[in-house]
Amino acid sequence: MEVNKIRWRLFSFCLLFPYFINANTLTLDLTGVIETHCEIDFFNGNRLDIKDKTINEIPFHLNCNQPFEISFTSANGGLINHDNSDVFHKYHFEIDIDKVNIKKKVISSDLDKFYKLDSSGKVPFFSTGKIRITPESDLIFSGYYQDIVHVGISPSLNNVPTL
């Protein structure tokens, strides 16, 4: 008789709580996309007034969510005096980006071709850096000197980190 009571209670329990007997599984498919971005911001402006042989620099913010390449080209390869076309001055161009250990110094004549650096697979996320310009010699002739350096930044497809 005792066995029948136990069976009846077990049967009643199973009727009241059927999900204990028939376990179901649930599969979640979680997906998302984070778009690639790489931006440089010259927050103090993008002009330097070079009047002498002192160091001039432009700070910038860098925001990339993957490894990047940064490129430079110079319109003239140096400072041209617009009032006297015979006067030409080279300068030292230096870039420094702390989080990815980029520190490179070149002479302006090297920038008349496409000059490129990459982050060696490192991702800077939010970083700062600076570009320094130092004339190679004193600017002694009067006149308006100019060079235009184009700076390009893009995500690097060659140095994508693996997980």
Q: Quickly list H helices, the chain.
A: 2-16
Q: Which CATH number goes with the domain that contains 58?
A: 2.60.40.2040
Residue 48 has pLDDT above 80, yes or no: yes
Residue 71 lies in a domain: yes
Residue 27 lies in a domain: no
Question: Whose CA is closest to 109, among 137, 133, 129, 79?
Answer: 79
pLDDT digits (tens, 9 = 90+) for 99-145: 999 999 999 999 988 899 999 899 999 999 999 999 888 888 888 98
Residue 163 lies in a domain: no
| Residue 107 structural domain | 38-155
pLDDT range class, residue 17, cuts 50, 70, 90: low
Average pLDDT over residues 136-163: 80
Residue 161 lies in a domain: no
Residue 69 lies in a domain: yes
pLDDT recorded at residue 28: 87
The tally of domains found in the chain comes to 1
Sign of CA dihedral 45, 48, 49, 54: positive
If one counts every other C-beta atom within 10 angstroms of the C-beta of residue 102, the result is 20
pLDDT digits (tens, 9 = 90+) for 56-93: 899 999 999 999 999 999 999 999 998 887 888 999 99
